[in-house]
């Protein structure tokens, strides 16, 4: 496994792979890797000849007062996990390599970025779209693999890849959960044991809404209320509970389609967590 610390090193390696006729796959991460990330690497390796993982805590997607400084980091542990996962390369740049002095260019996906997490974290998705565009431009992968846990992010990335004619397949992979249903997240490391138990309110809320849909309920308000009841019972402070079109993210009044997406965000203590599901999954 090779480690790249500069954009030029990454570009050179992937360009050589392309010239050799290899299908290149990219798994963008912010590190502190867990089994959810490893599932993305496995999926990428199954679909590509060469897999590169990026590990970069992107400063432009954190707003004032957010957790950039304390975001969990473990580069050496991450590199060991990547080796064990059989990836071919890791791109782990410093912030100055991605945003050198004089950097002025940002990417925005209007509309999709303005609701849900985007409305509550101004500038967040501008930072995400910018760094993903940089990674796709540098690595020129044939395939990039993302998790479905951040559903809004996945739709934004799909849109920018299409709109900018980047020629990359964007693959979304299912959420990986703990045995009790909690969606895996690097931010779970912030939770105390009691908070960890309360965090199950998010996945239980989604399960309650799915059960209502299976029993025949289609009204968005009723499905949202089912999820909210579980959040309240677990003392999770709601940020939002929304039923949306899976691609456009526009709010729905009814869940007549099984792929209608229910998205939740909430605070457990000071930790903000997100989760989502298709109502008919």
| Given the residues 34, 37, 103, 165, the one annotated as active site | 37
**What string of H, E and C letters represents the secondary structure of the chain?**
CEEECCHHHHHHHHHHHHHCCCCEEEEEECCCCCHHHHHHHHHHHHHCCEEEEEECCCHHHCCCCCCCCCCCCCHHHHHHHHHHHCCCEEECCCHHHHCCCCCCCCCCCCCCCCCCHHHHCCCHHHHHHHHHHHHHHHHCCCEEEEECCCHHHHHHHHHHHHHCCCCCEEEEECCCECCCCCECCHHHHHCCHHHHHHCHHHHHHHHHHHHHHHCCCCEHHHHHHHHHHHHHHCCCEEEEEEEECCCCCCECCECCCCCCEEEEEEEECCEEEEEEEECCC
**165 is known as an active-site residue:** no
The residues that are catalytic are 37
């Amino acid at each position: 496994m090779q480690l790249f610390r500069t954009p030029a090193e990454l570009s050179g390696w992937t360009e050589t792979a392309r010239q050799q006729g290899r299908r290149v796959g990219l798994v963008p991460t912010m590190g502190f890797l867990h089994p959810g990330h490893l599932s993305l690497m496995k999926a990428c390796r199954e679909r590509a000849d060469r897999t590169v993982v990026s590990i970069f805590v992107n400063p432009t997607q954190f707003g004032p007062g957010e957790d950039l400084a304390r975001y969990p980091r473990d580069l050496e542990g991450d590199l060991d996990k990547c080796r064990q996962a059989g990836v071919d390369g890791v791109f782990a740049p410093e912030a100055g390599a991605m945003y050198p002095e004089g950097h002025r260019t940002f990417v925005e996906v209007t509309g999709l970025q303005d609701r849900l997490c985007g409305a509550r974290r101004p500038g967040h998705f501008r930072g995400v779209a910018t760094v993903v565009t940089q990674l796709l431009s540098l690595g020129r992968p044939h395939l990039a693999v993302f998790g479905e846990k951040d559903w809004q992010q996945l739709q934004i990335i799909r849109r920018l890849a299409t709109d900018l004619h980047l020629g990359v397949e964007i693959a979304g992979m299912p959420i990986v959960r703990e045995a009790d249903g909690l969606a895996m997240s690097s931010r779970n490391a912030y939770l105390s044991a009691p908070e960890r138990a309360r965090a199950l309110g998010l996945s239980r809320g989604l399960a309650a809404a799915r059960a209502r849909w299976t029993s025949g309920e289609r009204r968005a308000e009723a499905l949202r209320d089912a999820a909210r009841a579980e959040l309240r019972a677990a003392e999770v402070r709601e940020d939002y509970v929304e039923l949306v079109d899976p691609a456009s993210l526009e709010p729905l009044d009814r869940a007549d389609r099984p792929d209608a997406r229910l998205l939740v965000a909430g605070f457990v203590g000071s930790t903000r967590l997100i989760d989502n599901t298709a109502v008919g999954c």
